[in-house]
Amino acid sequence: MLGKGLKRKLEQEDENDVMKMSSHQEASPTCYWLQRQTVLNLSLLKLHSRPVHSDPGLARRVLITNTLRHIQDELRGEGIPVPQSFPCGGTPLGVVDGYRERSAGCGVESHSEGSLTPVSRLEEDKHLLLCLSPSVTRQQPPSSIIKDSFTSALAEIEDLCPTVGITTLFSTETGRSLTSDPNFDESRYTDSDLSEMNSSLDSVSLVSDPAPSAFGHTPSLLADFSLDDFLFTELDSLLFDSTPCSSPLSTSSGASKVVSMVTDDFVKTLAGYGNGGTSQSTLQSNQTFKLDLNELDHIMEVLVGS
Amino acid sequence: MWSSCWTYSLNLSSVPGDGDGQSRWCLSQVKGAVDDDVAEADIISAVEFNHSGELLATGDRGGRIVIFQQEQESKNLPQCRAEYNVYSTFQSHEPEFDYLKSLEIEEKINKIRWLPQKNAAHFLLSTNDKTIKLWKISERDKRPEGYNLKEEDGRYRHPSSLTTLRVPVFQPMDLMVEASPRRVYANAHTYHINSISVNSDNETYLSADDLRINLWHLDFTDRSFNIVDIKPANMEELTEVITASEFHPLQCNTFVYGSSKGSVRLCDMRASALCDQHSKLFEEPEDPSTRSFFSEIISSISDVKFSHSGRYMMTRDYLTLKIWDLHMESRPVETYQVHGYLRSKLCSLYENDCIFDKFECCWRGDDSEVMTGSYNNFFRMFNRDAQRDSTLEASWENGSPGCPLKTWRVCTGSRRKRNEIGVDCLDFSRKILYTSWHPQDNIVALATVNNLYIFQEKPN
């Protein structure tokens, strides 16, 4: 009577029978607490995974984030210590249009009361509007934002120990911009990859205070960043740069030369570049990366002054 | 004016329904493949009648638009008015790739809006996430014949073979419907476009994405003006997005936009160039007894539609339909529960993402009834005058065309009467998100996953 095809029943809670939905949430404090915990876990899960349908819209992310924040506020209000995996204050939106829009200032201020604002003036950087625009303007991002982003990003990397290759990438790239290395050649970086880097950093940066490990990030986002960075910068400069600023940040194995991507293929390829063709060194450097993560973290904290 | 305002709320226990469980609605046609294997590209994502009701456009996830035309010969027969046949099919949008952000731009058609007809050709606006296009659909039923320099098959004749001159004449040919893109309005939206709306001045239209609304002139593709911008200076402070927007049907200076927090703002473009300051804010205070973790999500406005009269506005959120009097901002004048039985299932619906489904709604031509979709291929009709509602099912198995549909009832108890179904038996993968009502007749078109259903109301 309802049409052929498999009827998919409404998914029931897996947790336990207490979670059978009742409209009276206040009836049992345990029930409420359990449901809150469930919603919390679901929200975190959703923010870190792609939705079933292909469109990870901004609206959806905002709604999930608000739900999460509401729970967090409630927990705080009850005096329950909020775990480090919570976003504090900021919303983990990770908007891909990135950092540049912030430094450019919101287009709103350029509006005048009497005249309409052309959309082209909304974003000062036209490339944000034009998908394939070649023109890119240069801006030097204030270092404070990089520091905050970096600290939390670095903290995140702790959670992502398996993908250690990216740590080195962060250290080499951001290290340069932080310490204003004389060898730092701005021309090597187009603004786009700076913004890409910072946008990814922003997207992983979920806390405004330097608390370690905001909730972990899917490797894929970092992978995107890495890939873009690779597309825009010269491979050689990444691999063979031996600027003084990067040495305290790099691992003792000199593995800053070896930048690994999440994908295995790339790792092998780069290992080939940096080590004259032998792919075995990748494994060694990975292990060394793990050992040096704590060292790196400590150094960064000292530098950034957390 | 105030004495006539009331709030009407329907709950399950007092559903009057229609007499003996039969409605006056009948299935007229089903379009699309009826097998269970649905290709992603065939999933319908937009449904819209044109201003005369003669044409019905559908858009799908594959970026195609299919236009159906009302059967011309039987148009005047009352029982056959709802016969629509394919008129034109064309590819409106193609998938694109944003190289700078490494993101794919889907070709899925988000919205279709027709322009009022000014000449023999028909114009519509279609949009995906980033680009809006103006399409001209025109008929060609004559072609010139009798060229001097060309043969009928197109080959050129040698000038030296000409001995006489003749004037080419138009000869009838098989009807051909052509769709050609007349304008492409691109590069004005950083975020995903969720709405387009043609102004009553027939010269401008608005397009809305998550954070901005832009105003366009139909003739110009190289400039667009921003009229609403809710993007905060610091994106980390973003807590609210724009979800739907529409121009007033009669006042060309007025438009509304709904937000993810359940509020609707009415703006007057005469007030200032940038309408960040609303003229009216329509928001109903939250009922503390129904507060839950999902209160904000379910309050998010999924659709906003003005009545044809321009006096009322309807908003759809996850569980309800609300009718607002534009003169009263404090609360809606009517509230209809679409599927209130889902209130206790919100956690599960959050888990499977159904809670983010964006349902559309539509008005009947005379504004006396409203309609919206639900799950299990149910759709809900609310008769404002008679204060009655009914639940109907879009199913090609149910009865033959012309046979009145049975009304359904969703119950939470264990007893099942005929035409009752338990909440736990609902199929949440079958949902009706897109609906459109014929502007004059009682014909409705709605989309299930990949089928277009056309229903007609039988006169008593």
Give the pLDDT of residue A25: 44
In a domain, A65, yes or no: yes
Residue B347 pLDDT exceeds 80: yes
Q: Do A106 and B345 touch (CB under 8 A)?
A: no
Residue A62 is assigned to a structural domain of this protein: yes
- Split at pLDDT 50, 70, 90, the class of B327 is very high
- Determine the pLDDT at residue B135: 98
Give the span between the Cα atoms of A124 and A137, in whole angstroms. Answer: 9
Say which residue, A141 or B281, is predicted with more confidence. B281
**Cβ contact (<8 Å) for A19 and B347?**
yes
B194, B223, B428: residue with CB nearest A8: B428
- What is the predicted pLDDT for the residue at B2? 35
Residue in chain B lying closest to A23 (CA): B344
* Smallest Cα distance from A270 to chain B, Å: 22
Residue pLDDT, tens place only, B144-157: 888 888 887 878 88
Is residue B203's pLDDT more than 80? yes
Task: State the residue range of the domain holding A70.
Answer: 29-46+58-77
User: At residue B363, does pLDDT exceed 50?
Assistant: yes
Cβ–Cβ gap A122/B232 under 8 Å? no
Q: Look at residue A40 and tell me if it is in a domain.
A: yes
Q: Which residue has the tokens 């956690």?
A: B347
B-chain CB neighbours of A105 within 8 Å are 233
Closest by CA to B59, choosing from B456, B442, B395, B433, is B433
Rg of chain B (C-alpha set): 24
**Predicted confidence (pLDDT) at residue B345 exceeds the cutoff of 60:** yes
Number of domains into which chain A is organized: 1
Chain B residue closest in CA terms to A1: B398
Q: Evaluate whether residue A3 is within a structural domain.
A: no
In contact, B405 and B23? CB cutoff 8 Å:
yes
| Per-residue model confidence (pLDDT) at position A55 | 56
Predicted confidence at residue A255, as pLDDT, reads 37
Would you state the pLDDT for residue B452? 95
Confidence tier at B378 by pLDDT (50, 70, 90): very high
Q: Is residue A188 part of a domain?
A: no
**Between residues A250 and B372, which one has the greater pLDDT?**
B372
The confidence band for B212, taking pLDDT boundaries of 50, 70 and 90, is very high
Q: Angle at the Cα of B341 (from B445 to B362), degrees rounded to 5?
A: 25
Q: Contacts of residue A8 in chain B, CB cutoff 8 Å? A: 427-429
Q: Do B274 and A108 touch (CB under 8 A)?
A: yes
Q: Which of the two residues, B415 and B142, has the higher pLDDT score?
A: B142
As a whole number, the mean pLDDT across chain B is 90
Q: How far apart are CA B274 and CA A106, in angstroms?
A: 14
Give chain B positions within 8 Å (CB) of A108. Answer: 229, 231, 274, 276
Q: What is the pLDDT of residues B171-192, one digit of tens each?
A: 999 999 999 999 999 999 999 9
Residue B282 has pLDDT above 90, yes or no: yes
Which H/E stretch holds residue A264? helix A264-274
Verify whether the Cβ–Cβ distance B353 to A132 is below 8 Å.
Answer: no
Is A259 inside a domain boundary? no
A169 within some domain:
no
Contacts of B229 (CB under 8 A, 6+ apart): A106, A107, A108, A111, A122, B211, B212, B213, B274, B276
Listed as ranges, residues in chain A with pLDDT below 50 are 1-3, 11-26, 53, 84-113, 124-149, 151, 161-284
Q: What is the dihedral of CA B397, B400, B401, B403, to 10 degrees?
A: -110
pLDDT (tens digit, 9 = 90+) per residue, B308-318?
999 999 999 99
- Convert the pLDDT of each residue in A256-282 to its tens digit: 333 333 344 443 444 444 444 444 444
CB contact under 8 A, B235 and A102: yes
Structural domains of chain B in order of their starting residue, each with its CATH number: 24-458 (2.130.10.10)
Give yes or no for a contact between B356 and B431, defined as CB atoms under 8 angstroms apart.
no
Over pLDDT 90: what percentage of chain A?
A: 8
